[in-house]
Structure 1
Amino acid sequence: MTTHYTQPASHGLTVADAMEPYEYQIADDITVDRANEIFRGAHVAYLLVRDHNGRCEGLVTRIGLDPFLTRSWYAERTALRDTAHQQGPFAWPGMALGLAALAMRIKSLTIWPVIDDDGYLLGILTADRVAGLTGRQPLGRPA
């Protein structure tokens, strides 16, 4: 059996070519209860979390907060930094898009923060955007 490798359509593209801006960031010391209010008000699926220095710390989803919201006293006292949420390493702008696509598939990521050399958020990389540029289907979708 012979296997042939074909060069992906993303040859030469980097994460910088595919990343998108994202506005919704919250501090890691925000309580779960307050983050839940932001989710409801902003109508977004995820929020990017930054540390006390403003650097990207991770990404939290509304579904990820559900275990903490079952008891109001727990949600009122638990900071986001104390929850289980997506954390680094993150993508960087000069990373090859094909490599980023592979990393996202391996880590089962649909959203991946893109940071600069100092850890500050530059944007996000989405599985849909990567699929559009590389020709590969995003996670959870049939080819």
Structure 2
Amino acid sequence: MTTHPAQLARLGHGLTVADAMDLCNYQIADDSTADRANDILRSAHVAFLLVRDHDGRCEGLVTRTGLHSFLTRSGSERTAISSTSHQRGPFAWPTLNLALASLAMQIKHLTLWPVVDDDGYILGVLTADRAAGLLAASPV
């Protein structure tokens, strides 16, 4: 089945990413080390960290899986997050139609998608599970 933009607009009855996003309290600077990111992931018991650049704008998202190859080699204490394999933009924005965002996440095989404002600052994160749950609960 092919879904067209007009069909997507009807799905979810106007739900947007802002309706589904979660706040994310765990962030790390892109010049922090892979070891530091791993320490935060473990101590906070979280699956991901949002990465911000030197201006505080969203740079991407890092997970333990993305850090694994950098942590297993020597010198990881000097490897900056910006040099690791992490999810980078483009990112979702809060006014994006939730059905369209969900479709984009499916196409890009994303389970998490950072949400940013017009200036690129982190607002939160959209999870595929939350988006799917809200869309399934929304009357069509």
The two structures share one fold, judged by TM-score above 0.5: yes
Deviation sequence 1:22-59 (CA, Å, 0-9, x none): 10000000011111111111111110000000001000
- Look up the match of 1:103: 104
Q: How far apart are residue 90 of structure 1 and its match?
A: 0.3
CA distance in 2, matches of 1:135, 1:29: 40
* Correspondent of 2:58 among 50, 56, 59: 56
User: Which 4+ stretches in 1 moved above 3 angstroms?
Assistant: 5-9
- Look up the match of 1:139: none
Matched residue of 2:110: which SS? coil
Cα RMSD for the two superposed structures? 2.0
More helix by share: 2
| 1:34 maps to amino acid | R
- Look up the match of 2:93: 92
Q: What is the 5 A alignment of 1:1-143? A: 9-73=11-75, 75-135=76-136
CA distance in 2, matches of 1:47, 1:13: 26
Deviation sequence 1:59-87 (CA, Å, 0-9, x none): 000111110111232x1111000111100
Q: How far apart are residue 9 of structure 1 and its match?
A: 4.5
Structure 1: any 5+ residue segments left out of the alignment? 137-143
Deviation sequence 1:77-134 (CA, Å, 0-9, x none): 1100011110000000111111101100000111101100000011111111101111
- Look up the match of 1:141: none
Matched residue of 1:10: which SS? helix
| 1:58 maps to amino acid | G
Identity rate of aligned residues, in percent? Answer: 68
Structure 2: any 5+ residue segments left out of the alignment? none
CA distance in 2, matches of 1:110, 1:57: 17
CA distance in 1, matches of 2:125, 2:69: 26
CA distance in 2, matches of 1:40, 1:94: 33
Are 1:9 and 1:135, in contact at CA under 8 Å, matched by a contact in 2? no
| 2:83 maps to amino acid | D
CA distance in 1, matches of 2:14, 2:51: 30
TM-score (normalised: structure 2): 0.88
